[in-house]
Structure 1
């Protein structure tokens, strides 16, 4: 097995001396893996993602990215969030270029790289549009193109499709899967959506709250792309759903199932 791209080593995190939000979290992620962090609100998924990205300090333990300890955020590991984060006064092209401005690339190289990733997400014909002229799904595709243009080692996704309608979400899941397989990206995805986790992930870490811990790891032995109506898909769906009952989570209806 290759050297892990991400190593999380016994991290604990609390706020202002309160009870731990995260407790003794340990796992490794291999290059090119898609990992889903799945659990109900309040179990520390987003906090864990922020610790991995260097956006929050841990109380103890450490995170390593390609062997180097993560102290602060860097362009080696970028965050993609639900709210897109696009600048409304900049065109689609200029929003994608934003992450690589000041990178030392020539102006032409920056333009060409942005165009390449806009082509990849199917928005090359909307390069001159403003974000307000795009649908929510298109805006998220711009955000994906901007993240890809940085060419990070790891992309962190905090419920990136949570605000979208079902059909747009399915479409973008397909797009993301195709891009991930082509680019061999490593992705860590926070989601409440059981089906989304099964569709995209190679492994699912089910988290439980109070304090946030990895309750169970599930490796998905299915080829991609996956058929949501397939019996194997339904097997994992039932397995995961039963895990939430097993951990005494009284409100499984909170999850998108």
Structure 2
């Protein structure tokens, strides 16, 4: 992992108008993310974590402060980063391989080059045998893997993930978390993951940024420096679960049922 920050966030503020008044959503956010690192932004619904992800991706503009991606200020979306949502966003009338090729159609590649790259990333996510299938013929987990392949095929430096596995059953979610670790190791993609699942944050991230419930700030940064893949039943894992849960209790915000604890 390179020590050079891929992302630099400095003095970031963001507010929205609400009934004629300004409502502060993010308040003086500051942190860096190294190349090849996975950072989880953890917090309850409404704490501003998705807004932070949208700002990093250039889908919204900051009120004050700066977000630098690979040395350039983020002012709009670019191919340097790709967002992955719960909703896979696959086109039902296109085959698996044509869905993956979708993001490559505005790049200066021949049809053979697009196909070759799409196949490369479908192979990476273990779906090279499903190229001619349509989304309706795939399970939810497979559809999410197609979406991941499509995102990676653009070869972005940064993958932004907003609750990507939240709609899946537990076992499929665990499987895809393992697959994401393997993919990240091979592709060396930097990942920023927004989640309200404590276990998911611990399992996937090198660092966890805990956001407070209502102040729009990074409450605490926790470095997870144990090996990957991590043992969900191990003492280290339980230590971090307790540490994070205690952080929410100390702040006076009790985790809602949507939290995995």
Q: Secondary structure at the match of 1:79?
A: strand
The equivalent residue for 1:231 is 235
CA distance in 2, matches of 1:250, 1:96: 41
The equivalent residue for 1:14 is 15
Q: Secondary structure at the match of 1:52?
A: helix
CA contact (8 A) 2:213 2:253 kept: no
CA distance in 2, matches of 1:208, 1:226: 26
Q: Secondary structure at the match of 1:122?
A: coil
Q: How many residues of Structure 1 are paired with residues of Structure 2 in the alignment?
A: 257
The equivalent residue for 1:152 is 156
CA distance in 2, matches of 1:90, 1:230: 43
The equivalent residue for 1:176 is 180
Structure 1 segments of 4+ aligned residues over 6 angstroms from their partners: none
Q: Secondary structure at the match of 1:21?
A: strand
The equivalent residue for 2:126 is 122
Q: Which moved more, 1:197-206 or 1:15-24?
A: 15-24
CA contact (8 A) 1:77 1:153 kept: yes
Shift of 1:254: 3.1
Shift of 1:18: 1.9
Give the CA RMSD over aligned residues.
1.0
Shift of 1:126: 0.9
Q: Secondary structure at the match of 2:23?
A: coil
TM-score, structure 2 normalization: 0.96
Alignment of 1:44 onto 2:45: no
Mind listing any 5+ residue stretches in structure 2 that lack a counterpart? none
CA distance in 1, matches of 2:256, 2:11: 28
Mind listing any 5+ residue stretches in structure 1 that lack a counterpart? none
Shift of 1:2: 2.5
CA distance in 2, matches of 1:250, 1:77: 33
The equivalent residue for 2:141 is 137
Q: String of CA shifts for 1:60-106, please: whole Å, max 9, x gaps.
A: 11110011000100110100000001111111100000111120011
Shift of 1:252: 4.2
CA distance in 2, matches of 1:210, 1:143: 32
Q: String of CA shifts for 1:13-62, please: whole Å, max 9, x gaps.
A: 11125221111101000000000000000000000000000000111111
Alignment of 1:54 onto 2:58: yes
Alignment of 1:34 onto 2:38: yes
Q: Secondary structure at the match of 1:119?
A: helix
Alignment of 1:107 onto 2:108: no
The equivalent residue for 1:217 is 221
Shift of 1:233: 0.7
CA contact (8 A) 1:245 1:252 kept: no
CA distance in 1, matches of 2:144, 2:255: 29
CA contact (8 A) 1:38 1:45 kept: yes
Shift of 1:225: 1.1
CA distance in 2, matches of 1:85, 1:13: 27
Match of 1:207 among 198, 207, 211: 211
